[in-house]
Amino acid sequence: MKPAPFTRHVPHTVDEAVKILSEVAPQDGRVLAGGQSLVPIMAFRMARPAHLVDINEVAGLDKLKVENGKLIIGARVRHAAFHKPVTPGPLGALLSNVVRNIAHYPIRMRGTFCGSLAHADPASEWCLTAATLDAELVAKSVRGERVIAAKDFFGGIMSTALDEDELLAEARLPDLPAGTTSGFNEFNRRAGDFALAASLAVYRLDGGKMTDVRVGLGGVEDRPRRIAEAEQALQGQPPGDAVFRAAAQAAARAVDPLEDNQTSAEYRRDLTRAVVRRALEQANT
Ligand SMILES: Cc1cc2nc3c(=O)[nH]c(=O)nc-3n(C[C@H](O)[C@H](O)[C@H](O)COP(=O)(O)OP(=O)(O)OC[C@H]3O[C@@H](n4cnc5c(N)ncnc54)[C@H](O)[C@@H]3O)c2cc1C
């Protein structure tokens, strides 16, 4: 099928983009970023926006740099930008480890980091990264700018705190201190598919014990989140098999997994145990 008819707008500044968005949002006008999620659902006519606000020529949205201890990722920054570390420290390594799990190479060349957050698939690797690292999301509209914490941004399956006329202009991730280590693991049935479960584990060693522990989980519940029970099992402990298994078990107990016609909640709970343990093991290598 072909998409229903629509008008494409091509603003060149953020002010212009949010002005058009405010005018067309009531007619289901939407932002077009990489088009890797929006265009397929338009082709299936599951979405019929009358207007698309194409942000690919908006100046300044290609920013990708560390400022004041935060990595700024503008709305035009594509997944492929992270194939190589974007900063020399642990954050650059973490992002280039995660990115290779997203879809396939051609999709990574077009799809954007912020587009993934705005789309809010519960299994998205970038949504999991944003939740685990407590990202700040910067939303702009004709009313001004607001900064939304990742824990308040994801509202459920493909649902966010963005208003219909808001542009997610940039995401900010904390630049991780030297000595931070991380591991990522996901399970899917075919390479390139969305994960049935994914985990990102991050910690730093202080005197041989884990500190600043973060354990994030995606694909299991309706939104990605940090799992406090797993983090508590690790904090202040030396890394090792027994404590990793205890944390994975704590995560499996803590979750309320989604079910679908192919995957039971119990299966996703088992996957939770596996991906959390494997992410922690990778962080420890
Ligand atoms: C075969 C296939 C496999 C895939 N596998 C994965 C996978 O394993 N993991 C994964 O995470 N993703 C996967 N994707 C999705 C892909 O990563 C998309 O690139 C991503 O979800 C959306 O980014 P985009 O820039 O293409 O957004 P678009 O498709 O342009 O937009 C998606 C939605 O977000 C809105 N939007 C986009 N940018 C903004 C913004 N800045 N502000 C406000 N709203 C905005 C749009 O209006 C639209 O509603 C897959 C896609 C395909 C086709």
pLDDT for 105-137, tens place per residue? 999 999 999 999 999 999 999 999 999 999 999
Window from 97-106, 168-177, 185-194 with minimum mean pLDDT: 185-194
Ligand 1 atom closest to residue 37's alpha carbon, by position in its atom list: 29
Buried b (16+ CB within 10 A) or exposed e, 142-158: eeeeeebebeebbeeee
Ligand 1 pocket: which of 95, 109, 116 to mutate (most atoms within 8 A of CB): 116
Q: How far apart are the CA of 90 and the centre of ligand 1, in A?
A: 26
Report pLDDT for 191. 85
Cα separation, 65 vs 73, in Å, equals 7
pLDDT attached to residue 192: 84
In our burial notation (b when 16+ CB lie closer than 10 A, e otherwise), range 76-89 reads bbbbbbbeeebbeb
Measured in degrees and rounded to the nearest 5, phi and psi for residue 84 equal -110, 150
The residue to mutate among 38, 79, 127, having the most atoms of ligand 1 within 8 angstroms of its beta carbon, is 38
* Confidence (pTM): 0.98
Within 6 Å (CB) of ligand 1, which residues are found? 30-38, 40, 75, 102-103, 107, 111-112, 114-116, 118-119, 121, 124-126, 162, 167-168, 192, 194
Token pair recorded at residue 140? 């702009």
In this structure, how many other beta carbons lie within 10 angstroms of the beta carbon of residue 276? 32
**pLDDT computed for residue 262 by the predictor:** 87
Q: Kindly give the distance from the C-alpha atom of residue 229 to the centroid of ligand 1, in angstroms, as a whole number.
A: 31
Handedness of CA 35, 116, 99, 68 (dihedral sign): positive
Q: Residue with the nearest Cα to atom 38 of ligand 1?
A: 115
Task: Specify the amino acid at residue 61.
Answer: L
- Which atom of ligand 1 is found nearest the CA of 30? 47
Separation of CA 12 and ligand 1 centre (Å): 21
Q: Whose CA is nearest to atom 28 of ligand 1?
A: 35
CA 270 to chain centre: 23
Distance 35 CA to ligand 1 centre (A): 6
Mean pLDDT of 49-71: 97
Distance 121 CA to ligand 1 centre (A): 9
- The pLDDT tens digits for 187-239 are 999 888 899 999 999 999 999 999 999 999 999 999 999 999 999 999 999 99
Q: CA–CA separation, 60 vs 74, rounded Å? A: 8
CA dist 24 and 18 (Å) reads 10
- Per-residue HEC secondary structure of the chain comes to CCCCCCEEECCCCHHHHHHHHHHHHHHCCEEECCCCCHHHHHHCCCCCCCEEEECCCCCCCCCEEEECCEEEEECCCEHHHHCCCCCCCHHHHHHHHHHCCCCCHHHHHHCEHHHHHHHCCCCCHHHHHHHHCCCEEEEEECCEEEEEEHHHHEEECCEECCCCCCEEEEEEEECCCCCEEEEEEEECCCCCCCCCEEEEEEEEEECCEEEEEEEEEECCCCCCEECHHHHHHHCCCCCCHHHHHHHHHHHHHHCCCCCCCCCCHHHHHHHHHHHHHHHHHHHCC
Contacts 24+ apart (CB under 8 A), 84-87: 87/175
Which residue's CA is the closest to the ligand 1 atom numbered 50? 103
Q: How far is the CA of 224 from the centre of ligand 1 (A)?
A: 16
Predicted pLDDT of residue 1: 75
Contact in structure between 171 and 130 (CB atoms under 8 Å)? yes
User: In angstroms, how far is CA 193 from the centroid of its own chain?
Assistant: 15
